[in-house]
Amino acid sequence: MEKFFQKGEWQFSFRHLFRRIFLEDWLTKVIALFITVTLWLGVTGQPTTERLRDVTLKPRVADTIEATDISVQEVDLLVTGDKRKIDQIKEENLIVVLDLTDVQAGDRTIQITSDNVNVELPTGVRLEEVQPNKIAVKLETVTEREIAVKVETEGAIPENFEVYSKIVAPQKVRVRGPESFIKSLDSVPTEKVSLENRREDFIAQRIPLNIADSKVTVLDTNVVDVAFRIGEKRIERLFTVPVQTDTGKKTATVILYGGRSVLESLKAENLRVEIVKTEAGETSLNLVLPPELQDKFEIRKLKVN
């Protein structure tokens, strides 16, 4: 080894090695290096920064809170990463979730940061900022309440007929939603029930409820049954009926309300007015109808003249 260094052969070996690595076939090696770098860039992609526009913004709130008004529905995202992966992103498929689970009810101004948003981006793509970075939002407490069901109908029943009554079961349903929405509800409507050419009683079963606002949810049931009473158009008719009182014979005025044809065929002599005494000694009037006409009429007036 001493002879090797004394003769300076190590210098020769180093120069020879350097020459072999860097100088011999240098053009081939440059081309190979160029190809290697090109392949590496092709695999890893070229880093870039781009803006994704009109991405849907969706607030996430606590179970007892509802976002009823938000000033911004879409935002722009500034992202950095592999250009090829960014180019594959479709803005319409992205959703930016804004975390408001710790925010109390009320009118709020929210600062949007990387800490309170979540968006699913491809691996190697990073979210830099969101624009606008500040929004106004109204948060309301969720409440429940029982609301009456309102029966909606369509179509015309035949002439000279009418709907006597509509009985819905259940009559009320429990609904859940933001406080202001629930307070403004007077009733919950049903889908429309057709009355076209209906001449007699029928029951419409499992009629869906029609809640127009997606923020209001029906808790108990989404369908109801409705019993319709349909008959001939009704009229009022006045009768004068004799009545025996303690002081002698008198007359009573009777006004009945019911189907036209039956009421027009009814005669005063078919009616009887009785004076009934209660256990307390009080008197009241009782109208006696023929058995076949029981429950056919509504008594609008019954009075001794």
Q: What angle do CA 148, 151, 153 make, to 5 degrees?
A: 165
pLDDT bracket for residue 54 (50, 70, 90) = very high
pTM of the model: 0.66
d(CA 191, CA 211) in angstroms, rounded, equals: 9
Domain regions of the chain by residue span = 2-44, 47-141, 151-232, 234-304
Residue type (1 letter), 52: L
Q: Assess whether the region 47-141 and the region 151-232 belong to the same CATH fold.
A: yes
Strands 297-304 and 248-259: antiparallel
Asked if the bond preceding 47 is cis, omega within 30° of 0, the reply is no
| Chain length of the chain | 305
Residue position matching structure tokens 């008594």: 299
- Model confidence pLDDT, tens digit, residues 184-214: 999 999 999 999 999 999 999 999 999 888 8
Q: 47-141 has which fold?
A: RNA Polymerase Alpha Subunit; Chain A, domain 2 (2.170.120)
Q: What angle do CA 276, 277, 279 make, to 5 degrees?
A: 140
What is the reported pLDDT for 275? 85
What is the reported pLDDT for 16? 61
Q: 151-232 has which fold?
A: RNA Polymerase Alpha Subunit; Chain A, domain 2 (2.170.120)
- Model confidence pLDDT, tens digit, residues 15-46: 665 566 555 665 676 676 667 656 655 555 56
